[in-house]
Amino acid sequence: MATSEKKTAYERFEAKVRKEATGCWIWTGAKDGSGYGKFKGHDKVMTPHKFSYEDKTKSTVPKGKIVKHTCDEPLCVNPEHLVLGTYSENAKERWTRTGRNLQPADVITRAIRKAIPAVTENQLISALQALGLSVFTEPGDGDTA
Ligand SMILES: [Zn+2]
């Protein structure tokens, strides 16, 4: 039987987006512990801003790259506010922009990994959060989906 009422991934995505006067599109759907949203795209779970970027550019984010926000709003999914970057670039820029006099999260992440080689991603995130640091990891890029 044809499932004519089945929505496309983009329609499901758009239904969860609130477009703000600032130009940001705020994700109102499911969230995970990282502060980003969670969205089941075409066949895998990803962050909604990554889905938005990939859908807009009709491309796939290459391994080792992340989709960054130019607007500092982690829940924003407006593709106009999204650019490709790397994890460390993102951490660096974020610390520069906030002007906080703290070590970048990636420096601390490296220090923790060196001290505790068996540390899991979740323990690492908890440790960073306990230090009051934001976590910039890109959750669920599909490897385990
Ligand atoms: Zn935005």
Q: What is the pLDDT of residues 48-69, one digit of tens each?
A: 999 999 999 999 999 888 898 8
Q: How far is the CA of 69 from the centre of ligand 1 (A)?
A: 7
- For 83, list phi and psi in degrees, rounded to 5: -135, 160
**26-52 mean pLDDT:** 87
Q: How far is the CA of 3 from the centre of ligand 1 (A)?
A: 34
Structural domains counted in the chain: 2
What is residue 22's three-state secondary structure? coil
pTM of the model: 0.61
Query: 38: domain range?
Result: 10-85
Domain shared by 15 and 35, yes or no: yes
Domain shared by 33 and 99, yes or no: no
CB atoms within 5 A of ion ligand 1 belong to: 24, 71, 73, 76, 78, 81
- Is residue 2 in some structural domain? no
